Structures are given as C-alpha cells and as structure tokens.
Amino acid sequence: MPKNASSDWGLEQIVADLRASREELHRTRHPLGIRELPSGDAMISIVAGLRAAMFPTHYGEPDLTDESVDYYVGHTLETTLKLLAEQIRRALRFVPENAGVADDALRSRARDVARAFAAQLPGIRALLVSDIQAAFTGDPAAQNITEILLCYPGILAMTHHRLAHALHRLGVPLLARFINEIAHSATGIDIHPGAQIGPSFFIDHGTGVVIGETAIIGERVRVYQAVTLGAKSFAADLDGTLVKGNARHPIVEDDVVIYAGATILGRVTIGRGSVIGGNVWLTHSVPPGSSVRQGKIRELERGEENPGK
C-alpha cells in the first residue's frame, strides 16, 4: 500500500473545512470555551449505583445476606457519590453564576450538592415504593413486586425521574437532563426533570408518554401510553427568543386517570378524580370528577349536552 494512501481521502481540506465550521461558521462550543464536559457513560454508572443502593436485592449483587447488605450499600454509595461529585463539578461550570468561581471552590460546592442529594435518597426510595405499589394495585397483570421492579418501563422511567428531579432542584439541571435522556432512550418515556410528580404515580405500558417541564401531577395519578402533558404555546421576547421557565404545562390533581393517546396542552387544570378518555385533545380546564371523552368534547363545542350518548 502506498505510504500516502490516506491522502486519497483529501483529509487536509476536510480537516480545514471542519475547523472553519467549528471555529467560525457554525460554532457550538460554550461561550466560555468549556471543554471538560460531564460524561454520559459516568452518568449511566451513577444511576446504576444509586438504583443498587436503594434496591440492593434487585439491582445489587446476587449473594447479599442480611449481614453483608449494609456494607454493600455503604461501599456502593461511597463509590457512586465520589463519581457523582465529579460530574456535578463539571456540570456546575455551565451554570452562569459559576462562571468566575475558582476550581477549588467549585469542587467544594459540588461535594456539598452531592451530600445534599445523598441525604434525599431514603425519601426518593419511599416515593418509588409508592409508585411500585401503585403499579401492583393498578395492573391486574402484575404478579409481584420483583416483576414490576425488573420489568416495568414506567418504574424505570420514574426511578430516573425521581433522581433527576432532586438534582434539578439542587441546581444541576444539565446532569438531570442526562439522567432523563438515559430513561427516555431506554423506555420511550420522556419526563422533564423539572416536572413535579406526587407519590403513587403509575405509567402503564408507557411508550410515547411526554410530561413537560412545568407540569404538576398530584397523588395516585395513572396515565397510559402516548399521553402528552405539553405546552399549547410559547411566549417570546421582542426579538423572538423563547421565554424560559414560564408555567405552560398542565396541572393534574389527585386520583386522575388519563387513557392512551390523550393530549392535554397548556396551563390547564384537570380536577381531582377526573377521567380523561383515550385520544382526547384537551386545551381547557375541567372540574373535579369530570369524565371527558371525544364525543363529549364535540357536544360541548356545539353547546350541546346529551348524557345519553
């Protein structure tokens, strides 16, 4: 093979064009030039470690005993939290107010955040147990808790969400999005880390569920596949830039059931105990105890009321 075979690709020009795209034409680098980024592989390992610490008999080592389980949990947490603190340090660089913070101070702040996050793990586990119990109660096909923990995509998604939401509230939104997207890729369930979700939340089947950033969901709510809790419109500045953080997603009160394919948009309220039928498109609030189906919506749009239909 000729020594200059690689030159057949025209690499010199390609490399030069990529540099021009990178540095001049289509820049994607952070304005401060941050190069040390959080690691997706590290976040996968961190979530796996946190799951194992919270549910060691399901996600930990197979030979754990009553005598060894606490040691295993402690060792797993020590390793996982060290890794998490480093990823938090990297992610904090992307928070605007940390632009001028010295490395040592940022490292100390990252450890404080990791410590505060770790203190929430018992509470997060309690919420997840309520979600698991809701799945067992709400799904007649569920045989036992182990099946739900190991096999149900809704529980996998909620495990990631409960962890991501805690980090989001602690001021590390970038890592929270990492955790969200790991679950999204694995399950097809997309829950923004900012969404507030009460206990005993059950996602049945799950594929295609979307829950937006400012959604607020009460207790004992159940949703089925392809449900969207989304935004109806997006406020913009005078220059056309979207305004961030506005409350734009639904509020779902306690004991609501939302069936497959329903789309609920905007800052509307679904009253306590309501049932939203399959494939309903809803952009207005409904009072507690409502039963909303496609035919009912059409009747209301025509100003009719015919309960017999």
Task: Tell me how many degrees the CA angle 177-233-261 measures, rounded to the nearest 5.
Answer: 70
What's the CATH architecture for 35-188?
Orthogonal Bundle (1.10)
Q: Between helices 40-54 and 121-138, what is the axis angle to 10°?
A: 80
25: DSSP letter: I
Task: Tell me how many degrees the CA angle 209-191-236 measures, rounded to the nearest 5.
Answer: 105
Lay out the sheet containing 275-276: strands in order across.
Answer: 202-203, 222-223, 257-258, 275-276, 291-292
Residue 43: the pLDDT is: 97
Q: Where are the CATH 1.10.3130.10 domain residues in the chain? A: 35-188
What's 208-309's CATH class? mainly beta
Beta bridge partners of 270: 252, 286
Residue 237: the pLDDT is: 73
Residue 307: the pLDDT is: 42
Q: How many angstroms separate the Cα of 154 from the Cα of each of 23, 52, 262?
A: 42, 18, 17
Burial class (CB in 10 A: 0-12, 13-18, 19+), 266: middle
* Other beta carbons less than 10 A from residue 60's beta carbon: 19
Residue 4: the pLDDT is: 56
Q: Where are the CATH 2.160.10.10 domain residues in the chain? A: 208-309
**Residue 180: enclosing H or E segment and its boundaries?**
helix 173-187
CA distance 97 to 181: 25
* Average pLDDT per 10 consecutive residues for the chain, totaling 309 residues: 64 93 82 79 98 96 93 98 97 86 93 98 98 96 95 97 98 96 97 98 97 98 98 78 84 98 98 97 97 73 50
